[in-house]
A and B are shown apart, each in its own frame.
Chain A
Amino acid sequence: NAGVTQTPKFQVLKTGQSMTLQCAQDMNHEYMSWYRQDPGMGLRLIHYSVGAGITDQGEVPNGYNVSRSTTEDFPLRLLSAAPSQTSVYFCASSYAGTGNVAFFGQGTRLTVV
């Protein structure tokens, strides 16, 4: 059972480039979410989804897009990368109705130069 899988693990982008961070889960969880983690800080919610076809903004959504065409996948798109988006990104999934214990992927370390 793979759990939550994120790719890539590391990525370097130039300012202005776009890319997609991939996230897949095999636990049939309804809820999926994306967080960013900056040095010395906790996790901040970017976007989340409560089911296929449904997405919503979190605390820091600007500069990011998401879609949820299937239960398993929840990609995060950076439209035009900026140095301020240098961070570690975590994808998480959780069951509906369990109080939302989130299971996290291993993270993607993104550097924008």
Chain B
Amino acid sequence: GESVGLHLPTLSVQEGDNSIINCAYSNSASDYFIWYKQESGKGPQFIIDIRSNMDKRQGQRVTVLLNKTVKHLSLQIAATQPGDSAVYFCAENNAGNMLTFGGGTRLMVKP
């Protein structure tokens, strides 16, 4: 079936650098995408979302980019901090009621 996936299982960055986490999706009918952050021992936490009629959306230190042509989603974190260390999931809503999650990318921030 159609699914959401991620290119890199682990991303290691230096503190202060920018991080880019990527996600590929295959369902062209998906109209809404969300990035979640999951810290160890906790439930996923909403970071930022984007609708399919947008290409870019910015939050505080985070930016989500959507490229519908190649069905690609990315999360950019500026000036990565140790507190950003976590697993990041993308999720899609393909016009249904529930979300389909990707496999997750672990972000490790080196001091």
Q: Chain A residues in contact with chain B, CB under 8 A?
A: 4, 31, 33, 35, 40-45, 48, 50, 58, 90, 92, 99-107
Contact = CB atoms under 8 A, between A and B. Distances in A.
A44 B44 CA distance: 13
Interface of B: 4, 9, 31-32, 34, 41-46, 49, 51, 89, 93, 97-104
B43 to A, nearest CB: 3
B99 A102 contact: yes
B49 A101 contact: yes
12 contacts: A4-B43, A42-B104, A45-B99, A48-B98, A92-B43, A99-B34, A99-B51, A100-B99, A102-B34, A104-B44, A104-B45, A106-B42
The secondary-structure label for the interface of chain A is strand
B77 to A, nearest CB: 19
B93 A100 contact: yes
B44 A100 contact: no
A90 B89 CA distance: 14
Nearest to B31: A99
A6 to B, nearest CB: 8
B98 A42 contact: no
